[in-house]
């Protein structure tokens, strides 16, 4: 019995017992993921499954990068710089309709924000209490803000007269409202409301007019994928969505614990503030009544078609948005798997 034979036999026994890693184990598939915004509370939905190994268990090596807007996220996925991303569905629709000949238009593969988080916010002292009060007022938002872009839909649904717009960089939006430079702003509720508090404005002093509460049933943020990965590695897309759903369930079950994974990526965040932001996002747009009715991750074709028509009109796109071109639900986990993602609302 040679020493070499002995070592080979020992290695074979160890492999069979699971004591050594399998030499032929498949390498993890690298996935570059683009967020829509900075590492704030809602980013926990993607950072938790990375940190806790749920993506890795699905055979994926996922890297998550912060973003600077949904439009940029769509463009970066379209360019092939990123495989998968997170962006507002309206921004994806706009890209499709304004770039009909683009060779690599991303598609939405899962709904995360069943309702748009967009709202109009004003200070109570302004006298604004309902949408009609906005007529003739000065509204402020960055030009690319989702709420500002979709405002014509909100305006039409509520018969609001003409308004005057002021543009600014995102960090100045809430500051200008607090100072009285504008009468109202548009923005994601869970972003702007907490940013106002950080500037010394009490939540009780803010009037919030959420778009979904006033006749605007737009879908919000969705997971988007590049056609290349859909074509060349559809199993990776399925694996990503399945692992994401498992992570999402954990995030919603314990938002406070999930924020720690955001803190690991950006050590200067305010943990308490971002926990509140995450909980607000969950309660208003992720675990909403519409999401529970339609099912986590899914959408209703009729509602999608209406949104496509509304976005075409409000955004003045070069071509009409085709709802069939922007959505591919074939990679979603089974409905039974998705059924347990959303927590049962407290009574």
CB 201 within 8 A of CB 289: no
CATH value at residue 164: 3.40.190.10
Answer yes or no: is 133 within a domain.
yes
Cα dihedral 252, 257, 262, 268, rounded to 10, equals 140
Amino acid 206: pLDDT:
98
Do 176 and 264 lie in a common domain?
Answer: no
Do 108 and 123 lie in a common domain?
Answer: no
Query: How many whole angstroms from its chain centre is CA 123?
Result: 27
Is 56 exposed, middle or buried, given 0-12, 13-18 or 19+ CB atoms closer than 10 A?
middle
Answer yes or no: is 34 within a domain.
yes
Do 110 and 122 lie in a common domain?
Answer: no
**Measured between alpha carbons, how far is 235 from 241 in angstroms, rounded to an integer?**
10
Amino acid 26: pLDDT:
73
Answer yes or no: is 285 within a domain.
yes
**pTM, to two decimals:** 0.90
Amino acid 25: pLDDT:
55
Phi, psi at 43, each rounded to 5°: -65, -15
How many CB atoms neighbour CB 133 within 10 A?
18
Residue ranges making up the domain that contains 155:
118-214
Phi, psi at 128, each rounded to 5°: -80, 120
Answer yes or no: is 8 within a domain.
no
Task: Print burial letters for 304-330: b (CB count within 10 Å at least 16), e (below 16).
Answer: beebbebbbebbebeeebebeebbbee
Do 105 and 243 lie in a common domain?
Answer: yes
Single out the residue in 155, 185, 214 at which a domain terminates. 214
Do 73 and 126 lie in a common domain?
Answer: no
What's the whole-number average pLDDT of the chain? Answer: 92
Amino acid 18: pLDDT:
46
How many domains in the chain? Answer: 2
Amino acid 8: pLDDT:
52
Answer yes or no: is 307 within a domain.
yes
- Length of the chain counted residue by residue: 347
pLDDT tens for 191-203 read: 999 999 999 999 9
Do 110 and 228 lie in a common domain?
Answer: yes
- What tokens were used for 92? 């994806």
Answer yes or no: is 326 within a domain.
yes
How many CB atoms neighbour CB 234 within 10 A?
14
Answer yes or no: is 194 within a domain.
yes
Do 191 and 226 lie in a common domain?
Answer: no
Do 107 and 144 lie in a common domain?
Answer: no
DSSP code string of 136-182: T-EEE--TT-HHHHTHHHHHHHTT----EEE---GGGHHHHHHHTSS
Single out the residue in 196, 214, 232 at which a domain terminates. 214
Do 166 and 284 lie in a common domain?
Answer: no
Do 148 and 82 lie in a common domain?
Answer: no
Instruction: Kindly state the DSSP code that residue 39 receives in the 8-state scheme.
Output: S
β-bridge pairing 206-210 and 118-123: antiparallel
Residues of the chain with confidence (pLDDT) below 50: 1, 3-7, 10-24
Instruction: Kindly state the DSSP code that residue 316 receives in the 8-state scheme.
Output: T
Amino acid 15: pLDDT:
45
Do 74 and 167 lie in a common domain?
Answer: no
Do 227 and 281 lie in a common domain?
Answer: yes
Single out the residue in 192, 214, 236 at which a domain terminates. 214
**Measured between alpha carbons, how far is 225 from 240 in angstroms, rounded to an integer?**
10
**Measured between alpha carbons, how far is 15 from 127 in angstroms, rounded to an integer?**
73
Answer yes or no: is 272 within a domain.
yes
């Amino acid at each position: 019995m040679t020493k070499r034979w002995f070592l080979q036999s020992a290695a074979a026994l160890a492999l069979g017992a699971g004591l050594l890693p399998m030499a032929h184990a498949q390498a993890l598939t690298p996935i570059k993921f683009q967020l829509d915004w900075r590492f704030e509370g809602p980013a926990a939905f993607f950072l938790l499954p990375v940190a806790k190994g749920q993506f890795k268990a699905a055979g994926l090596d996922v890297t998550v990068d912060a973003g600077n807007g949904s439009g940029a996220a769509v463009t970066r996925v379209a360019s092939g710089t990123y495989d998968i991303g997170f962006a507002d569905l309206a921004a994806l629709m706009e890209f499709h309709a304004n770039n009909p000949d683009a060779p690599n238009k991303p598609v939405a593969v899962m709904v995360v924000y069943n309702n748009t988080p967009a709202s109009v916010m004003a200070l109570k002292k302004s006298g604004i209490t309902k949408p009609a009060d906005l007529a003739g007022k000065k509204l402020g938002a960055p030009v690319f803000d989702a709420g500002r872009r979709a405002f014509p839909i909100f305006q039409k649904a509520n018969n609001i007269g003409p308004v005057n717009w002021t543009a600014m960089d995102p960090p100045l939006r809430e500051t200008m409202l607090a100072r009285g430079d504008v009468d109202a702003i548009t923005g994601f509720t869970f972003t702007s409301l907490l940013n106002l508090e950080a500037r010394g404005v009490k939540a009780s002093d803010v009037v919030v007019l959420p778009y979904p509460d006033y006749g605007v049933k737009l879908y919000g943020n969705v997971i988007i994928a590049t056609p290349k990965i859909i074509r060349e590695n559809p199993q990776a897309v399925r694996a990503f969505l399945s692992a994401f759903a498992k992570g999402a369930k954990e995030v919603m079950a314990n938002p406070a614990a999930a924020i720690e994974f955001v803190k690991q990526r950006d050590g200067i965040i305010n943990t308490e503030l971002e926990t509140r932001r995450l909980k607000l996002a969950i309660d208003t747009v992720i675990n909403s009544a519409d999401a529970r009715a339609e099912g986590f991750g899914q959408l209703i074709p009729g509602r999608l078609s209406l949104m496509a028509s509304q976005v075409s009109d409000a955004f003045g796109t070069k071509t009409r948005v085709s709802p069939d071109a922007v959505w591919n639900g074939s990679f979603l986990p089974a409905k039974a798997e998705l059924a347990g993602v959303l927590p049962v609302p407290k009574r």
